Structure 1
Amino acid sequence: MSEPLTREKANELLHKYVKADHYIVHMYAVEAIMRGLAERLAPEDVEYWGIVGLLHDLDEETCDWKNDMSTHGPVSGDILRKEGYDDQVLIDAICAHNPESGVIAHTTLQYAILAADPMSGFVKAVAQIYPDKKLASVKPKSIKKRFNETRFAKGANRQFMMAIEETGITFDEFILIAMDSMKKISDVLGL
C-alpha cells in the first residue's frame, strides 16, 4: 500500500500533468465544492474529498478522451499508480465522474464528484452573464432558473448535477454549497 496522498502532493501532481490554466482553475473549483460537500457529508474527510476534486481531471491532457471517452478516469488511475499512489477508493471516485469509464457512481463520495464536476462549470457560466462577472453577484434563484434553460451551459450535464440527491443533499442545498465554496476561492477562479 502506498503512502497517503496529501493535498500538497496532489497539487504538485496536478501541475506536473496539467498545463492549461483553464483546466487547473476548473479543478480548483471542483476541489472547493468537494470540500464544501465533505463539510456537510463527511467532516472527517474534507481533505480527502478535496483531493478527489483536485485530481478528478488529472488525465485531461494525457488521455485521448476526445476519441475514446472511456479512457478519461482510468488514465488518471494509471498516472496515480505510476506516481506511487494506489488508493483504489480515490481512483474509483475519479473514474466515477465519467460513467463511460466503466465505474458507475454508487457511493456518497462518487455521487458527490459526479455532481460537483458539472456544477462548477454551471456556476461559473451563470457568474459570467452578470455585468461584473463575479460570484458575489450570483443568486441561487438565478442558478435554478438557468438550470431549467436547456440551451444555457448545455455542456453541463443536469442529470449528473441532480445525482447529488443520492447523497441526501437537496439540489437547492447543493446550489448554496457550490456557490459558497467557490466564493471562498473567487480570487483563484477569477470570479
Structure 2
Amino acid sequence: MKLSSLLYKFTVQFLLFCLLIALTKSQQIQYKYFNYTEIKLGGQNTPPLVTDIKTYDDGTILVHIIRNESKQTDECSKIRGMSLEQKLRIRLIFLNGTVKEIDPKFNIDPINYCLLNGSSIEYKINKHNNIVTYLNDTKSNNLSILHNLVNPISIYPSQKPFILITYVNTTNPFDPTSYRECLEVIDWEGK
C-alpha cells in the first residue's frame, strides 16, 4: 500500500506539473522596429529632432518634434538661445504602428521657439524638460554637446484624447521677470 500511495502522489504531482507548464506560456521578447519619415519638412534641409517622448496609459506614445531654424531670429539672439522652426509638431504613435500628425496652429510668443540655456542666470525659465543636444562643428570636425537647453514648450498626455501643452508668454520680451507659464489643452485633431 505504501508503494501504491507513493506512486499515486508522484503521478498527481507529475500531472500538476504538466498542467502548470501547459497553463503558463513562455514569454518571448519580440523586437519590432518602427520607422517613420517626416514628410512635411518644407524648404528647410534641417532634420527633425525628437525633444520629448511621453506615453498614455494604454501605451500610445506622444512625441514632440523640433527643427533647428537655418537662420537665427532676433528673439533668440537677444537671449543667446538657439532658434527653432516656428511650428509646433506633435506626433501620436499608436500600438499598431500608425502615426497621427498633429500640427496645431498656435499664436504664441516667438520666444517659445528658442532653445534657451537653462543655466543662464539672466534669462531663467523654470521648466523640467532639459535637453542634451549634439552639434557637429564642421570646421574642426568635432562633436560638441550642449547641456541644460530648455525648450519653453512642453507636452503632456492628458486624459485620452487630449494633450496638455505648456508654453511661456510675456508682456515684455526684454524683461525675463515678465515671463509667465501658460497652457492649452488640445485634442488629437489639434483643436
TM-score band, normalised by shorter chain? under 0.3
Greater relative contact order (Cα 8 A, min sep 6): structure 1 or 2? 1
Query: Higher strand share goes to which structure?
Result: 2
Q: Which structure is larger by alpha-carbon Rg, 1 or 2?
A: 2
Query: Higher helix share goes to which structure?
Result: 1
**TM-score (ref. length: structure 2):** 0.25
**TM-score (ref. length: structure 1):** 0.25
